[in-house]
Amino acid sequence: MKILTASQLKEADEITIEKQNISSEELMERAATQVFNEIHTRLQGADILIKVFCGIGNNGGDGLVIARLLIEHSYNVKVFIVNYSDNRSKDFLSNYDKIKNLSRDWPVLLKGEDDFPDIKRGDFVIDAIFGIGLNRPLEGWVAKMVNFINDSSAFVLSVDLPSGLFTDKIPEEGDAVIMANFTLSFQTPKLVFFLPDTMDFVGDMQVLEIGLDREFLSEVTPAAQLIGRQEARSLYNPRNKNSHKGSYGHVIIVGGSYGKIGSIVLATTASMRTGAGLATVFIPKCGYEIVQTALPEAMVLTDVNYEMLTDIKTDLDADVVCFGMGAGRDKSTVGAFKELLKKTNKPMVIDADGLNILSENNELLQDLPENSVLTPHPKELERLIGEWKDDFDKIEKVQEFIKKHKIILVLKGAHTFVFEQENIYVNNTGNAGMATAGSGDVLSGVIAGLISQKYEPLIAAVLGVYLHGKSGDISAEKLGYEGIISGDIAKNMGLAFRDLMSENETDSGAG
């Protein structure tokens, strides 16, 4: 699913109005009706008071349409107009007249703090105050109104975008932004729904199809792509019955040190559970019995050193080398990694201490094979590219970094991002239970396992991140969030593949 900017969505609206020969008010009616339908499906006529807060622009117009439809279906509705300006949009005014003609209980005009209505825990509030056109922080009594709603502990549903949130920048500390429990967004999600700095404002999210021009949507270059089941499914290459283990490649996992061999077991298990035909590990001697016992399917080569990597000698013709998990940063290990980089010409997967070695030895970045995949968590990323002001600044710095070094970068998080040149892919699987030691080791193994099967590194990264998250979701269904350990994620990779190709059309993407 494409993630578009506010300006692209505005253009889509204009083109839709022109090509479908409809008015902007008719498009507003269509969009707001979709919101009403979702609310009505969930409430089923429940006898509760619904408080609708409308601004005086088009987002407020949406709110008025929603309120009118709720009233027409016999819901108990109270409408409040947040009167922050004398300028009202044409479509707002039109829908304001419609709701006045429908009910004697006219909308209540809010002009300041003295007009704030009573809101309490358990109330149902619809936030339609500001939409995607907001370009400056909320001020004065309007900001206090937003904070008043947040402090009420009411259930808040935001229309298209939580009021006070921008689509293209991060709010400053102290800015007033609605903390929505649920956001119903029009046509496409917004990038801020998935950024660590802003995703908590959004709550749960669903995207509503409102019939914008399909030709424009198919041709426009998005700000990013959201990867759900449908998108991931299109990347999958089914297996050929007439095949053998050599058909699915050979992955070498290099890393480990005394006390940290488990990370190698996790990564190697994941690579094989993802379908790699052969897996070899290269580890210090201390890990030999551990790996042979834990994973008899893997081949094991050892360093001459018992506790750490000092001399990575392997003449095996691997399709991909995955380096870094548990490796440590001893001077001897750094030297061994340097030599490994010199003799490796195929894309690598680099994680954990491999990333830390690169950040401490920047000259090694020039030796990375083109299209190698780096998989940092935020702190590892900071060591690589330096500090950033906010998430948008971070994205800009990442894009500069990957262009310079011609690599693919997987930034792990609640929504893992995959960066490749101008393209950004946002994953929509996974859950809080995956915040557990070793989860990243599993992801590196998954991506390496896919590359070994001849997936292009970018495809391996995008599909691997999706499957990793889906396996985590399957694990959570069985064990609950708190019960997941990373070995469960590796073990359930086969079920993630099976879910991907099942006939069940439920999509893990937005909506």
**135 annotated ligand-binding residue:** yes
Last residue of a domain, one of 222, 245, 275: 222
**356 annotated ligand-binding residue:** no
pTM: predicted TM-score of the whole model, two decimal places:
0.95
- 511, pLDDT greater than 80: no
Residue 102's pLDDT is 87
Same domain, 159 and 305: no
**62 annotated ligand-binding residue:** yes
Instruction: Identify the band that residue 173 occupies on the pLDDT scale cut at 50, 70 and 90.
Output: very high
Same domain, 256 and 115: no
Query: How far is 409 from 355, CA to CA, in rounded Å?
Result: 11
- 213, pLDDT greater than 60: yes
Same domain, 145 and 245: no
Query: How far is 252 from 301, CA to CA, in rounded Å?
Result: 10
Mean pLDDT of 65-90: 95
**131 annotated ligand-binding residue:** yes
- Residue 480 placed within a domain: yes
* Residue 109 lies in domain: 2-222
Residue 373's pLDDT is 98
Same domain, 173 and 124: yes
CA distances from 394 to 171, 173, 419, 474 (A): 15, 17, 12, 31
**211 annotated ligand-binding residue:** no
Mean pLDDT of 479-488: 98
**413 annotated ligand-binding residue:** yes
Closest residue by Cα to residue 31 from 185, 139, 174, 157: 185
Same domain, 274 and 314: yes
pLDDT digits (tens, 9 = 90+) for 310-350: 999 877 789 999 999 999 999 999 999 999 999 999 999 99
Same domain, 145 and 250: no
- Residue 156 placed within a domain: yes
Closest residue by Cα to residue 373 from 424, 436, 447: 447
- Residue 354 placed within a domain: yes
CATH number of 291's domain: 3.40.1190.20
Torsions phi, psi for 479 (to 5 deg): -120, -15
Last residue of a domain, one of 201, 222, 243: 222
Mean pLDDT of 102-121: 92
Please give the distance of CA 245 from its chain centroid, rounded to a whole number: 34
- Residue 510 placed within a domain: no
Same domain, 189 and 250: no
pLDDT digits (tens, 9 = 90+) for 416-468: 999 998 899 999 999 999 999 999 999 999 999 999 999 999 999 999 999 99
Same domain, 134 and 245: no
**440 annotated ligand-binding residue:** yes
**69 annotated ligand-binding residue:** no
Number of domains making up the chain: 2
**319 annotated ligand-binding residue:** no
**263 annotated ligand-binding residue:** no
Please give the distance of CA 31 from its chain centroid, rounded to a whole number: 25
Same domain, 159 and 263: no
- Residue 275 placed within a domain: yes
Query: How would you classify residue 37: left for phi > 0, otherwise alpha for psi between -120 and 50, otherwise beta?
Result: alpha
**114 annotated ligand-binding residue:** no
CATH number of 33's domain: 3.40.50.10260
Same domain, 265 and 405: yes
- 234, pLDDT greater than 80: yes
Last residue of a domain, one of 188, 203, 222: 222
Please give the distance of CA 186 from its chain centroid, rounded to a whole number: 18
Query: How far is 160 from 140, CA to CA, in rounded Å?
Result: 23
Same domain, 172 and 256: no
Closest residue by Cα to residue 16 from 221, 208, 222, 212: 212
Same domain, 287 and 138: no
Query: How far is 250 from 48, CA to CA, in rounded Å?
Result: 61
